[in-house]
Amino acid sequence: MHRSLVVTKWGWTQRILFYFMVAGTRSLVTVHQPPVLTAALGHDVMMPCLLNLSHDEGMVTLPVLYWMYLTQDNTDNPRLWSPSEKYEGRVELLDKSRNTSNKSIVLKNVQWADSGKYLCKLSITTQKAKSFRKKGNETSLKVYDTMIFNLTAHNDSLLWCEVNVTPDPGFVLSIFHDGCKLQPADSAPGDAGAVLPYVTFSDTVPLRSEGEYECQLHLNGELITKSIFHYHSPVADFDGDAAKNGSLTCPTTASEAAVVVFPEPWLLYMALLLVPIVILLSLATALLMYRC
């Protein structure tokens, strides 16, 4: 009846590969990490970091990897790799061989306090440029909790969806019925609370008819997580036909309805045009017959 799904997007790898091809020609040594990542509270998250080194830039020693958590004032940034005391046992390097270009790590059991910015940094020594440090572009980690999607306790004709997330204006919550977006009867847009590390998004919609309801959380247009609720009317065949017909099309809003264009009645135009033609023709024939 009710299940939760965690959706992971891996379109990022393609973008990275593309970036390699473009950026590789310009810069000799670059470090790449995704700008934004999301993680489910209590789950593990992989934070990618890739080193790109052009062929002619021979490394003298193996690069030294640092992963940092960037604090608000950017001082005393704790180190994730190699793990400082704070991250002991919670961080793992995915590719353990030091001469790999894949410097991704896994942060385990993500907590609200893990929301924030992360920097991947490498200390490199090459023949040409000697020793230097190269930074990635920072990854911003957003955390979200399990989505609740069920009938409200006080009214079982109202469907309610709620989720806690790291404060970010890019988050959007929406409810769909058989593919149509529903207008919430009541909605809390996730205003920042006073001391909590998260904000709560919640939407309530009235049940329209039987079928599949889906609550979706998006961040900057990308689906982060969703939950599905199947509704079967307790009274069999109650409003059955209306429900079936209703589910085929999304109801239009007032503004949409205003611009609905009716099909042109071409047949009527033709018929109207035929009337004078027929009259003219019969007049002409009558005239001809009269002359003869």
Ligand X SMILES: *[C@@H]1O[C@H](CO)[C@@H](O)[C@H](O)[C@H]1NC(C)=O
Query: Which chain residues interact with ligand X by CB under 6 A?
Result: 13, 16, 30, 32, 48, 50, 94-95, 102, 104, 137, 155, 157-158, 185, 206
Residue 67: how many CB atoms within 10 A of its CB?
A: 26
Cβ distance to ligand X smaller for residue 92 or 145: 92
Task: Report the distance separating Cα 59 and Cα 53, nearest Å.
Answer: 9
Per DSSP, helices labelled H in the chain are 11-23, 240-246, 254-258, 266-291
Q: How far is the CB of 49 from ligand X (least distance, A)?
A: 9
Cβ distance to ligand X smaller for residue 205 or 224: 205
Q: How far is the CB of 175 from ligand X (least distance, A)?
A: 14
Q: How far is the CB of 67 from ligand X (least distance, A)?
A: 14
Torsion of CA 276, 279, 281, 283, to 10 degrees: -140
Q: How far is CA 144 from the centre of its chain?
A: 13
Cβ distance to ligand X smaller for residue 170 or 206: 206
Backbone angles phi, psi at 53, to 5 degrees: -130, 125
Cβ distance to ligand X smaller for residue 172 or 180: 180
Q: Give the CA angle between residues 214, 220, 223 to the nearest 5°.
A: 30
Cβ distance to ligand X smaller for residue 32 or 226: 32
Cβ distance to ligand X smaller for residue 48 or 211: 48
Q: How far is the CB of 27 from ligand X (least distance, A)?
A: 8
Q: How far is the CB of 155 from ligand X (least distance, A)?
A: 4
Torsion of CA 258, 259, 260, 265, to 10 degrees: 110
Q: How far is the CB of 271 from ligand X (least distance, A)?
A: 48
* Tokens 């893990």, residue located: 114
Strand partners, 188: 202
Nearest to 213 by CA among 263, 251, 247: 247
Cβ distance to ligand X smaller for residue 50 or 80: 50
Q: How far is the CB of 103 from ligand X (least distance, A)?
A: 8
Which tokens belong to 262? Answer: 């009716």
Q: Are 84 and 66 in contact (CB under 8 A)?
A: no
